[in-house]
Amino acid sequence: MRLNILIGGQAGQGINAVSGIVSAVLCSQGYFTFNYRDYPSLIRGGHNFNILSISEEKIGSHESKLDGIVAMDDKTVEIHKKELGKGGVVIDFKGFEALGRNLNIALAGALIRVLGIEKQVLIEAVKKQFNTPEALDAAEKGFNSQNKKFELKKLDNRLSIMTGSAAVAQGAINSGINLYLGYPMTPSTPLLQELAGQQEKYGFMVFQPENEIAVINAGLGASFAGAKVMVGSSGGGFDLMTEAMSLQGQSEVPLVVYLASRPGPGTGLPTSTSQSDLNLALRAGHGEFPRIVVAPGDPIEAIEKTNEAFYLSEKFGCLSIILSDKHLAEGEFSFATQPNKPIKVEVKRKVPGEAIVKASSYEHDEAGNTVETAEITKKNADNRIKKYQQIKKEVSKFEMIKIHGNPKSKNLLVGWGSTKGAILDAIRGLDYKFLQVLYMKPLSNEIKKELQGANKVILIENNLTGQLGRLIREKTGISIKNKILKYDGRPFLSDELKKEILKIK
């Protein structure tokens, strides 16, 4: 069983509350959900929609054919009716106008009824989130307005729902973060706000300086003074940080950077998704210095890989970049499994206050003072390469790649990051193996073996040029000929992706 329900309306009408209530109810009933958010860059008006995908099995994507539309305005049905499948349901806002801002709760109630879930479960969920007489009345009115169309019986799954942003925050908290610095920019803002909301509870600090250049330089200053620091941004904001990433390479002050991608170039599409910043993460900053780039594909991986990024950055005094995108950052995933136990992140180095410690952007001697000799320049450069060898060794203890689907299949799909959900949903029941690359730098040696062992290889990326494909070619000499690339600012839909995969013989 799989259902896809679109909830649409104007910005500010509260469509996220509809999907939020319904997801919470479905989660309590043991159903997996994935909620996709699609919205333009405006605060009031326009057309926003969520697509809530529902299944008895784990899912991580949505599909193109709709089973229902919940319309909070006239435009929604007009725009989306062609996507509605045969026998699809439309739940309209008309008739609920008198409820004012509680319209969203009434429509959530109506949808719960259509899905065939008990009224009591709805009432409890609304009580938990809103608990006003008006909200409860709206839920009741909505529920009573519809007939049951589906029969979603309670299942045994114990599930949680999380966005990728909340998961990165969790990973940072598990690592004992002391300071997060950021400047608002979609889609990295959700992490900034998520951590800001949790700072008091966990006793760390979140600070918003004047711009991204201040963010990262202050981040390095704080880390130098002994704090565990993460900074974050997107697109252009990350670009502004690149000079200081190079400073990290010279000063060797530990730093974790979160990059949530959106389509560029330029301002691009601020609220859409893209995997076009892999090259940027791999190469940002002048000069030659080691770094780690890790790209989680779902919230569980985001929790674990963020923790690894902190651990590695502190252990080696290196730059760890966590690469995400709008789809992972703002997608709402449900899952039944728990992340691995966190690795302890300890600051063992001497810091100011304990000893005289110098960090420098200049080539320097062991005490930190400037040296411009050929000998020390070469020695320091050699040490940077040696450090990267050590990093590679340490990273090999972690999951650098994952194999999904049929492990014996000769048909191999290669992808990374937020496309994971759609790829897994697309190949369910098919004879395909999916190689998910988690560490983009260092890159696993296993990738070459997997490519050599396959008969058919398809690269799947949410960008124009197949950046992982080029990285793999650079490291292995193998060029992946078959490519499924999507670069319209939207994520893959699993049913459409499945068709694309099956087209390639």
Partner 1 sequence: MAKQKTTSTKDKLSTKSVITWCPGCPNHMILEAAKRVFAKLIDEKKVKQEDIAIVTGIGCHAKIFDYINTSGFYGLHGRVVPTALGIKLGNPNLTVVGFEGDGDAYAEGMEHFVHAGRFNANITLIVHDNQAFALTTGQATPTTQQGYKNKVEPSGQHNLPINPVKIALASGASFVARTYALNLEHMTKTIEAAIKHKGFSYVEVIQPCLQFNKEMDEIRKLTYEIPDNKDDMDKAMKIASEWDYNTKTGKIPIGIIYQIEKPTLEDNWQQLSELMKKKVGWKRK
Interface ranges with partner 1 (CB under 8 A) = 178-179, 181, 199, 203-205, 207, 209-211, 213-215, 217-229, 243-244, 247, 251, 347, 351-362, 364, 367-370
Work out how close the CB of 341 gets to partner 1 at its nearest, in angstroms, rounded to a whole number: 23
Rounded to a whole number of angstroms, the minimum distance from the CB of residue 380 to partner 1 is 14
Nearer to partner 1, 186 or 248 (CB): 248
Smallest gap from residue 360 Cβ to partner 1 (A):
4
Say whether the peptide bond before residue 187 is cis (omega within 30 degrees of 0): yes
3 state DSSP class of 124: helix
Parallel, antiparallel, or unpaired for β 255-261 and 319-325?
A: parallel
The nearer residue to partner 1, 116 or 184, going by C-beta atoms, is: 184
Q: Please, what is the minimum distance in Å from the beta carbon of residue 289 to partner 1?
A: 15
CA Rg, the chain, in Å? 24
| C-alpha–C-alpha distance, residues 175 and 158, integer Å | 26
96, 106 Cβ separation under 8 angstroms: yes
Shortest separation between residue 215's beta carbon and partner 1, angstroms? 8
Token duo for residue 454: 């396959």
Half-sphere exposure of 36 (CA within 13 A, CB side): 25
127: left (phi over 0), alpha (psi -120 to 50) or beta: alpha
- Please report how close the Cβ of residue 129 comes to partner 1 at its closest, in angstroms: 29
Burial of 203 (0-12, 13-18, 19+ CB in 10 A): exposed
Which lies closer to partner 1 via its Cβ, residue 106 or residue 247? 247
Closest CB to partner 1 among 180 and 439?
A: 180
User: How far apart are alpha carbons 222 and 240 in whole angstroms?
Assistant: 19
Whole-angstrom distance, CA of residue 240 vs CA of residue 185: 12
Q: For 386, phi and psi rounded to 5 degrees?
A: -60, -40
Q: Where are the alpha helices (DSSP H) in 152-273?
A: 164-174, 189-202, 212-224, 235-251
Distance separating alpha carbons of residues 358 and 351, to the nearest angstrom? 9
Comparison of 197 and 221: residue with beta carbon closer to partner 1: 221
Closest to partner 1 by CB, 203 vs 429, is 203
Our CB check for partner 1 shows the closer of 245 and 497 to be 245
Written as six digits, the tokens of 166 are 């909340």
Residue among 282 and 357 whose Cβ is closer to partner 1: 357
Report the residue number, 247 or 302, with the smaller CB distance to partner 1: 247
* Comparison of 358 and 428: residue with beta carbon closer to partner 1: 358
The residue with tokens 């050590």 is 390
The sheet carrying 179-182 orders its strands as: 205-207, 179-182, 229-233, 255-261, 319-325, 291-294, 439-441
Query: Closest distance between partner 1 and the C-beta of residue 373, in Å?
Result: 12
Dihedral sign for Cα atoms in the order 289, 290, 295, 301:
negative
For partner 1, the closer CB: 179 or 412: 179
Nearer Cβ to partner 1, position 21 or 247? 247
Give, as one character, the DSSP assignment of residue 364: B
Contact criterion met (CB below 8 Å) for 68 and 82: no
Phi-psi region of 45 (alpha: psi -120 to 50; beta: other; left: phi over 0): left
Q: How far is the CB of 279 from partner 1 (least distance, A)?
A: 23
Using alpha carbons, select from 60, 51, 64, 62 the residue that is nearest to residue 19: 51
Say how far apart CA 374 and CA 381 lie, in whole Å: 11
Q: How far is CA 287 from CA 78, 224, 283, in A?
A: 54, 21, 10
